[in-house]
A and B are shown apart, each in its own frame.
Chain A
Amino acid sequence: DQQVKQNSPSLSVQEGRISILNCDYTNSMFDYFLWYKKYPAEGPTFLISISSIKDKNEDGRFTVFLNKSAKHLSLHIVPSQPGDSAVYFCAASPNDYKLSFGAGTTVTVRA
Chain B
Amino acid sequence: DVKVTQSSRYLVKRTGEKVFLECVQDMDHENMFWYRQDPGLGLRLIYFSYDVKMKEKGDIPEGYSVSREKKERFSLILESASTNQTSMYLCASSSESYSNQPQHFGDGTRLSIL
Contact = CB atoms under 8 A, between A and B. Distances in A.
A96 B33 CA distance: 13
A2 B60 CA distance: 13
Interface residues of A, number: 27
Contact of B45 (A6, A49, A99, A104): A99
Interface in A30-65: 32, 34, 36, 41-46, 49, 51
Interface residues of B, number: 28
A102 B44 CA distance: 9
Contact of A32 (B100, B104, B105): B100
Contacts of B61: none
Contact of B102 (A4, A46, A102, A103): A46
Contact of A43 (B42, B44, B108): B108
Interface of A: 2, 4, 6, 9, 32, 34, 36, 41-46, 49, 51, 89, 91, 93, 95-99, 101-104
